[in-house]
Chains A and B, each alone.
Chain A
Amino acid sequence: MTAAPPSERPAPTSARPHRRLRLRLLLVAVVVLAAVGVLAAAGLQGSLVYYKTTSELLSDHGLVGHRLRLGGLVVKGSVHRTAGGVRFELTDGVAEVPVVNTGEPRGVFRDGQGAVVEGVLGRDGVFRSDVLLVKHSNSYEPPAHGTGRPVEDTG
């Protein structure tokens, strides 16, 4: 960086702190770009279709034995606690898949709501999962008076 005579410069500044700041900012920009690239590529890998539906899972026999995510509605009355966790059935309105989950249900898990499980479909047709997430609907309703459930869910 060539130094101009002091009378031509609007204010005395030294070049080195500016160079350091510039390098730091350049580093930030590079890191940000790299992070964006990594997020977009790796993070979305296999996540664009975040889960398979029960019909999709049952119709593709090649998926048996492979770890994947399965989503659907928890069939009413199908939830039973087990020694290791919980078992229930998932449906997409067309096909049902029994699920055995290792680990206690987390979140607002209940029948009549959506759930996404991650695990493996066995040859016996049972999906064994160890990750259980709730996918709730986009409707917002108050609980029916005196209960913790929406109006149509009492009983």
Chain B
Amino acid sequence: MPRPAPARADRLLRASAAVAVVAALVLGLVVAPPDAVQGQAQRLMYVHVPAAWLAYLTFTGVLVFSVAYLVTRNLKWDRRAQAAGELGVGMTALTLAEGSLWGRPVWGTWWVWDPRLVTTAVLLLVYLGYLSVRGLSDDRAAGARRAAAVGIIGFVDIPVVHFSVVWWRTLHQPATLLSPDPAPIDPRMLLALLVALVAFTLTGAVVYRRRLTMLAAADAAALAPVAVPEPAVPADDAPAVPLAVVPRSRP
């Protein structure tokens, strides 16, 4: 049982995340110049854009883990999907909130009903729904199945959000980097943005792993029957064999 290795890997992950965050702060707040048009408010980009990218990444994770769950029926995939979904919802909310803070001084408004903003708000609601359906029944497996379905179908909104600025005429400007038509960006700004992306991803990984441990422990505790003896369950994950789910209030 590889217990020491995960602990070392986690420490390394946390340390790199901390370093990346400090580097991103220094680059974003000090080294990168302000924008000629937007001024200092443009520095919000170093949070807004990585949050959005991390949301895309985590929701892709939800898609992959949901498919894995439906194929294997092993709850460990559902836990991974849930942890990823929670992080994604947080990141989407952060993207919207921060975008609003950025919009007021630059666009002149906190919110517009343009396709980019509306589809992102829809994304937030869809994945909030994703997180809620899991708890709709007491049957852990049924909840996981429903959540997997929502997680897979909901993914459709991701390309819609990303391409909304290309497909439709929006107030939100088109992408600077991931675009059919990339635009110039100062190299120091680009560096700050990429380091911020790394910082967000590493910090997200730390949060994700801690959440996964909590979810595995919760599942193990919920399934520990009163009288039947059971082998010790490892703290970092559930057993690899498909868990026999015992519904609690069915006859």
CB of B2 within 8 Å of the partner chain: no
Asked if B225 lies at the interface with its beta carbon under 8 angstroms from chain A, I say yes
Report the 9 A-B pairs with minimum CB-CB distance, sorted nearest first: A107-B108, A106-B108, A142-B33, A150-B36, A32-B129, A139-B183, A143-B36, A138-B173, A138-B183
Selected from B107, B113, B122, B183, the residue in CB contact (under 8 A) with A47 is B113
A102 interface contact, C-beta 8 A: no
Residues of A that sit less than 8 Å from B by CB: 1-2, 4, 9-11, 13, 15, 18, 21-22, 25-26, 28-29, 32-33, 35-36, 39-40, 43-44, 47-51, 71, 105-110, 113, 116, 132-144, 148-150, 153
| Chain A residue at smallest Cβ distance from B246 | A10
Per the bound structure, the CA–CA distance linking A153 and B36 in Å amounts to 10
B136→A22 contact, CB < 8 A: yes
Judging by beta carbons under 8 Å apart, are B248 and A138 in contact? no
Asked whether A133 and B186 contact (CB < 8 A) given A50-B169, A148-B36, the answer is no
Q: Which residues of B contact A140 (CB under 8 A)?
A: 35, 42, 45, 176, 183-186, 189
CB pair A10–B248 under 8 Å, yes or no, is yes
- B90 interface residue per 8 A CB criterion: no
- State whether A108 touches B113 (Cβ < 8 A): no
Q: How many residues of B contact A (CB 8 A)?
A: 53
Q: Is the CB of B168 within 8 A of A28?
A: no
* Contact assessment for B105 and A28 in the assembled complex, using a CB-CB cutoff below 8 Å: no
A25 touches B136 (CB 8 A): yes
Q: Which residues of B contact A (CB under 8 A)?
A: 33-39, 42, 45, 104-109, 112-115, 118, 121-122, 125-126, 128-129, 132-133, 135-138, 168-171, 173-176, 179, 183-186, 188-189, 225-226, 246, 248-249, 251
Q: Report 19 cross-chain contacts, Cβ distance below 8 Å, ordered by A residue.
A: A9-B248, A10-B225, A11-B248, A25-B132, A26-B136, A33-B129, A35-B125, A36-B125, A48-B169, A106-B108, A113-B37, A133-B108, A135-B107, A135-B173, A136-B173, A141-B184, A142-B35, A143-B33, A153-B36
Q: How far is the CB of A74 from chain B (nearest CB, A)?
A: 12
CB of A50 within 8 A of CB of B170, answer yes
A32-B125, A47-B113, A134-B108 known; A149+B36 contact, CB < 8 A: yes
B183 touches A50 (CB 8 A): no
A141–B35 contact, CB under 8 A?
yes
Task: For the complex formed, measure the closest distance between the CB of A72 and the CB atoms of chain B, giving whole angstroms.
Answer: 12
Q: In the assembly, what is the distance between CA of A22 and CA of B134, in Å?
A: 10
Q: Per a CB cutoff under 8 Å, which of A32, A47, A144 touches B114?
A: A47
New A-B pairs, 20, CB < 8 Å, besides A29-B133, A137-B37: A18-B248, A18-B249, A28-B128, A29-B129, A29-B136, A32-B128, A32-B129, A48-B115, A50-B114, A107-B108, A113-B37, A134-B106, A134-B108, A136-B106, A137-B173, A138-B176, A138-B183, A139-B183, A140-B35, A140-B176
For the complex formed, measure the closest distance between the CB of B118 and the CB atoms of chain A, giving whole angstroms: 4
For the complex, give the distance between the alpha carbons of A48 and B118 in Å. 10
Which residues of A sit under 8 angstroms from B125, Cβ to Cβ?
Answer: 32, 35-36, 39
User: Which residues of chain B are within 8 angstroms of A106 by Cβ–Cβ distance?
Assistant: 108-109
